[in-house]
Amino acid sequence: MPSFSELAGEQKVFRDKGVLSPHFVPSQLLYRENEIRKVMQAVAPALHNSKARNLFVYGKTGTGKTCVAKHVLQKLDEEKNLRARAVYLNCRIYDSRYKVLQKVISSFSPGSAKTGYSFALLYERFLDWIEGLGDDGADGKHVILVLDEIDVVKDLDNLIYTLTRANDDLKRGSVSVLGISNKVNFKQRLDTRSKSSLCEEEMVFQPYDADQLKGILTQRVSTAFNDGVVLPSAVNLAAAIAAGDNGDARYALALLLRAGEVAEKKKVEKVSEKEVEEARKAADEDKAAEIVSSLPEHQKLVLYALAVVSEDVHYKKLVEEEGEKYYFSGEVYERYRAMAKKMGQEPRTSRWYREYLHELETLGLINSVESGKGVRGHATLLRLSYEAPKVKHILEKALLAE
């Protein structure tokens, strides 16, 4: 059991951990003045009793799209204009036209959009509310739907079509869309008509560079951590790592949070480069575990065979190349075949096996090299990218679950 003084010691590192959570929206967003202005300009007409402009925002993950949108919504809210109304929806949760409409209506008048209503009825309610037959005294509202991660909406063409049509059907008021996505190619799936309506105006959020990430991290450090805990070199390293990984601010913040937790666990009082390195390693492993768990079964088995071979201390048929231990692909294939049979599965042919190896390598889970001369002609050599016991452990859990 811990003592209270030990528990108190654990609070030496963090002052307010919540500030590092991915859902926290800082009151000041750095380096996004232009983006904020552009979103505000698109929304502004609603404050002057006309239709807001449709805007489509695209940018890689962690470039600040969601927090910029939420920031602008907050500002709009502060205007207390009854006619200019915005709703934020994450389309991972509201992933169809029906769910979007239902959520919009229930957020305006709770209880008025029960499941089971037909779409036509929902649509009528939606129009009625905008036109102002409700009791909030605001007729002819200008509604802005912020559809975050819009690419996951299953019937997006229908949704866009409905919203466009609503503008024709409405006697007063309007509907506009602020669409947000990090999938560059998703627009190709859309009808030309909905594409041109949704993407009337577009804006791209560029990835942050290392200096900007450093600024974003520094801004949080003073509230998230106690004074002097995080060394400047640790901030620099976290910023540099995230800059190398698509300029993702979420990743940079997660690294810092994790580095703080590492320091807590080790009971050290400073977060240094070392803790950031460890945090990076742990984050990498988490990502790998996620990929491994979602592999098709036979690829899992191939990976498992390599892990077993790598862990087998009696295993003689390994080759050292540049200090790394590699194993013969042919031997791993034999292990795979034996394991598949044991599990009552028909092993795949060696042609499939090579295909699997290629995919596993593309996913960064294994490395392969062609053997140099002298080693049985041209053999393929394999090694795991992560530690064998960890890979084995994840796979055992995943394979058992199947």
Ligand X SMILES: Nc1ncnc2c1ncn2[C@@H]1O[C@H](COP(=O)(O)OP(=O)(O)OP(=O)(O)O)[C@@H](O)[C@H]1O
Residues that bind ligand X in the complex, under the rule CB under 6 A: 22, 24-26, 29-32, 59, 61-67, 182, 216, 249-250, 253
Least Å distance, CB 33 to ligand X, is 10
Q: Report the residue number, 239 or 249, with the smaller CB distance to ligand X.
A: 249
CA-nearest of 378, 360, 377 to 369 is 378
Name which of residues 52 to 81 contact Mg ion (CB under 5 A).
66
Burial class (CB in 10 A: 0-12, 13-18, 19+), 344: exposed
Q: How many CA atoms lie within 13 A of 156 on its CB side?
A: 26
Using Cβ positions, the residue closest to ligand X within the complex turns out to be 64
Residue 102 binds which entry of ligand X, Mg ion, none, with Cβ cut-offs from 5 to 8 Å by kind?
Answer: none
* CA dist., res. 180 & res. 58, Å (int): 6
Who contacts 70 (Cβ-Cβ below 8 Å, separation ≥6)?
A: 25, 88
* CA dist., res. 90 & res. 181, Å (int): 11
Residue 216 binds which entry of Mg ion, ligand X, none, with Cβ cut-offs from 5 to 8 Å by kind?
Answer: ligand X
Which residue is it, tokens 């994790």?
258
Least Å distance, CB 200 to Mg ion, is 21
Residue 232 binds which entry of ligand X, Mg ion, none, with Cβ cut-offs from 5 to 8 Å by kind?
Answer: none
* CA dist., res. 289 & res. 358, Å (int): 18
Least Å distance, CB 25 to ligand X, is 6
Least Å distance, CB 180 to Mg ion, is 6
Q: Torsions phi, psi of 199, nearest 5? A: -105, 30
Least Å distance, CB 65 to Mg ion, is 5
Find the distance separating the first CA and the last CA of the chain, reported in whole Å: 38
- Pairing between strand 84-90 and 142-148? parallel
Q: Report the residue number, 77 or 370, with the smaller CB distance to ligand X.
A: 77
Q: Report the residue number, 187 or 337, with the smaller CB distance to Mg ion.
A: 187
Least Å distance, CB 157 to ligand X, is 22
SS3 for 194? helix
Using Cβ positions, the residue closest to Mg ion within the complex turns out to be 66
Q: Report the residue number, 67 or 86, with the smaller CB distance to ligand X.
A: 67
* CA dist., res. 398 & res. 391, Å (int): 11
* CA dist., res. 182 & res. 61, Å (int): 6
Residue 101 binds which entry of Mg ion, ligand X, none, with Cβ cut-offs from 5 to 8 Å by kind?
Answer: none
181 part of the interface to Mg ion, by CB under 5 A: no
Least Å distance, CB 24 to ligand X, is 6
CA-nearest of 89, 92, 77, 94 to 43 is 77
Q: Report the residue number, 173 or 207, with the smaller CB distance to ligand X.
A: 207
Burial class (CB in 10 A: 0-12, 13-18, 19+), 401: exposed
Q: Report the residue number, 62 or 347, with the smaller CB distance to Mg ion.
A: 62
329 part of the interface to Mg ion, by CB under 5 A: no
Q: Report the residue number, 52 or 150, with the smaller CB distance to ligand X.
A: 150
Site string for Mg ion, 10-49 (x = CB under 5 A): ----------------------------------------
* CA dist., res. 277 & res. 238, Å (int): 8
Residue 63 binds which entry of ligand X, Mg ion, none, with Cβ cut-offs from 5 to 8 Å by kind?
Answer: ligand X
Residue 176 binds which entry of Mg ion, ligand X, none, with Cβ cut-offs from 5 to 8 Å by kind?
Answer: none
Supply 143's token pair: 């509604």
- Would you tell me which residues interact with Mg ion (CB under 5 A)? 66
